[in-house]
């Protein structure tokens, strides 16, 4: 592990314990994104993780940078999620944006002075981006005029720029898709009412509307034909990042349960002396170890042919393990686990949210299932046992009578 990564992991851990945890309940009560906190994250180097050093970033490979969200997840999974999406957009803008875009935006994004977010999902299409309806018309002067709507846009109304996936023709399919960055102050850009999400109320999410929004060609991040492929890569990074943040959530839940049960007196001893409590928390500890290994392996596979499948494995397993961990640790505290100061109710709700965003666990199962079908096609057929019909595998009537 590099010295730079060690320093950033420590910075993220400090940020979680000193900035997020003492304030997250107040953030949720206020229902406002804590811009002062994300400014501190930027000052600590946590907002340009994958961007090149010459543009103010940290220059970390994905396999290392994604570990940062495990530390941030100790504080709050939704906060870690928001910063992960900003870092993905910053990575795209600094890596694939035009020179003019980088000149205008790169250092503001890597420093966290300005925030970015990703807009792909639409109200009618959900996890099926091929059904996208948001359309960009390319004008004679090179500008793009965009009309459409996006759903579940995080940092809605708070981000300074939105990396938006669009279609450029009326033809079905994805071959005409592109990605363009829309500044928040663009004329015709607006947002719907904020979604009501009590456990992460500080993270604004809503629909985003574009009515004759005109954007310069300098803001094209991925040209026509590359929009969907780039978006899928971004989603894979996001899925592994979510798994990383879930590990921090699991550690936080486990530590809360351990800190409580080591002192809770019951039946002539301490809760943690009971086999039942040890076994419950032991399962959480094992799931955490497995989850850490899985997301780190998936992070190392990003950008390779195995990347999408490994991201699906991580997104399917780790958030499910986080839900189980939060619920188990709540159970260990009994009635006390329901009280807000212990934070386990918040963690339970956050873990459920992280199972859904950037592809539900069911979508991950679809990806895994398709990979299994491809593998099955490469395998030889098993021999049919004697006495079984070839069609359907059931014993014939004659064979059944003979057995009788």
What would the pLDDT profile of 291-324 be if each residue is shown by its tens digit?
999 999 999 999 999 999 999 999 999 999 999 9
pLDDT at 390: 58
Query: What band does 391 get if pLDDT is binned at 50, 70 and 90?
Result: low
- The residues near 225 (Cβ < 8 Å, ≥ 6 apart) are 175, 176, 177, 178
Task: Look over the chain and give the mean of its residue pLDDT values, rounded to a whole number.
Answer: 90
pLDDT at 252: 93
229-375: what fold?
Butyryl-CoA Dehydrogenase, subunit A; domain 3 (1.20.140)
pLDDT tens column, 140-161: 999 999 999 999 999 999 999 9
Q: How far apart are alpha carbons 162 and 156 in whole angstroms?
A: 9
Q: How far apart are alpha carbons 387 and 389 in whole angstroms?
A: 7
CA-to-CA separations, 316 to 56, 201, 311, in angstroms, rounded: 34, 25, 8
pLDDT at 276: 84
Read off φ and ψ for residue 223, nearest 5 degrees: -70, 175
> CA dihedral defined by 319, 323, 324, 325, rounded to 10 degrees?
90
pLDDT at 197: 83
**Is 70 exceeded by the pLDDT of residue 223?**
yes
Give the predicted TM-score (pTM) of the model. Answer: 0.90
How many Å is the Cα radius of gyration of the chain? Answer: 24
* 3-state SS, residue 127: coil
- The residues near 393 (Cβ < 8 Å, ≥ 6 apart) are 384
Cβ neighbours of 243 (radius 10 Å): 31
3-115: what fold?
Butyryl-Coa Dehydrogenase, subunit A; domain 1 (1.10.540)
Percent of the chain with pLDDT over 70: 94
Burial classification of residue 170, based on how many CB atoms lie within 10 Å of its CB (0-12 exposed, 13-18 middle, 19 or more buried)? exposed
Top-ranked range on mean pLDDT: pick from 51-55, 130-134, 194-198, 349-353: 51-55
Q: Are 33 and 92 in contact (CB under 8 A)?
A: no
Average pLDDT over residues 85-105: 95
pLDDT at 204: 94
**Is 50 exceeded by the pLDDT of residue 396?**
no
pLDDT at 403: 47
Q: Are 400 and 344 in contact (CB under 8 A)?
A: no
Percent of the chain with pLDDT over 90: 71
Q: How far apart are alpha carbons 331 and 223 in whole angstroms?
A: 51
Q: Domain 117-225 maps to which CATH number in 1.20.1250.20, 3.40.50.80, 2.40.110.10, 1.10.10.10?
A: 2.40.110.10
| Nearest of 183, 52, 201, 66 to residue 115 by alpha carbon | 183
**Is 50 exceeded by the pLDDT of residue 404?**
no
**Is 90 exceeded by the pLDDT of residue 265?**
no
pLDDT at 272: 76
pLDDT at 353: 87
pLDDT tens column, 96-130: 999 999 999 999 999 999 999 999 988 877 667 77
**Is 70 exceeded by the pLDDT of residue 20?**
yes
Q: Which helix (H) or strand (E) holds 23?
A: none
pLDDT at 235: 92
Q: Which helix (H) or strand (E) holds 365?
A: helix 361-377
Cβ neighbours of 360 (radius 10 Å): 16
* 3-state SS, residue 165: strand
**Is 60 exceeded by the pLDDT of residue 392?**
no
Length of the chain: 404
Average pLDDT over residues 347-372: 89
**Is 60 exceeded by the pLDDT of residue 394?**
no
Read off φ and ψ for residue 24, nearest 5 degrees: -65, -35
pLDDT at 56: 95
Average pLDDT over residues 42-58: 96
- The residues near 275 (Cβ < 8 Å, ≥ 6 apart) are none
CA dihedral sign, ordered 226, 231, 236, 240: positive
Q: How far apart are alpha carbons 13 and 20 in whole angstroms?
A: 10
Provide the residue ranges of all domains of the chain, joining segments of one domain with +: 3-115, 117-225, 229-375
Strands 269-270 and 189-191: unpaired
């Amino acid at each position: 592990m590099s010295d730079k990564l060690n320093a950033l992991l420590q910075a993220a851990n400090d940020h979680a314990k000193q900035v997020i945890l003492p304030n997250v309940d107040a953030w949720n009560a206020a229902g406002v994104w804590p811009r002062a906190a994300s400014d501190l994250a930027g000052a600590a180097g946590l907002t340009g993780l994958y961007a090149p050093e010459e543009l103010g970033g940290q220059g970390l490979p994905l396999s290392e940078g994604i570990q940062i969200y495990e530390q941030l997840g100790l504080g709050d999974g939704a906060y870690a999620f928001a910063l992960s999406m900003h870092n993905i957009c910053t990575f795209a803008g600094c890596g694939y944006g035009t020179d003019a875009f980088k000149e205008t935006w790169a250092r503001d994004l890597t420093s966290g002075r300005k925030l970015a977010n990703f807009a792909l999902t639409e109200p009618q299409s959900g996890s099926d981006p091929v059904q996208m309806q948001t359309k960009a018309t390319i004008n004679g002067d090179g500008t793009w005029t965009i009309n459409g709507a996006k759903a579940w846009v995080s940092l809605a109304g708070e981000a300074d720029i939105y990396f938006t996936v669009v279609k450029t023709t009326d033809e079905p399919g994805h071959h005409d898709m592109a990605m363009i960055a829309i500044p928040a102050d663009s004329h015709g850009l607006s947002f719907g009412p904020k979604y009501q999400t009590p456990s992460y109320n500080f993270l604004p999410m809503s629909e985003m509307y574009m009515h004759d929004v005109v954007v310069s060609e300098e803001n094209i991040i991925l040209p026509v034909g590359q929009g969907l492929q780039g978006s899928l890569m971004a989603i894979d990074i996001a899925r592994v990042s979510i798994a990383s943040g879930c590990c921090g959530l699991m550690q936080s839940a486990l530590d809360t349960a351990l800190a409580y049960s080591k002192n809770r007196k019951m039946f002539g001893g301490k809760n943690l002396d009971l086999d039942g409590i040890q076994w419950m928390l032991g399962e959480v500890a094992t799931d955490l170890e497995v989850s850490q290994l899985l997301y780190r392996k998936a992070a190392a596979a990003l950008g390779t042919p195995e990347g999408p499948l490994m991201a699906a494995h991580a997104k399917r397993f780790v958030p499910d393990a986080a839900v189980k961990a939060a619920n188990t640790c709540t159970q260990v505290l009994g009635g006390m686990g329901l009280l807000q100061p212990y934070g386990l109710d918040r963690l339970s709700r956050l873990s459920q949210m992280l199972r859904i965003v950037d592809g539900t666990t069911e979508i991950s199962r679809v990806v895994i299932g398709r990979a299994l079908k491809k593998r099955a096609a490469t395998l030889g057929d098993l021999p049919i046992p004697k006495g079984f019909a070839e069609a359907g595998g059931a014993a014939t009537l004659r064979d059944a009578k003979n057995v009788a």
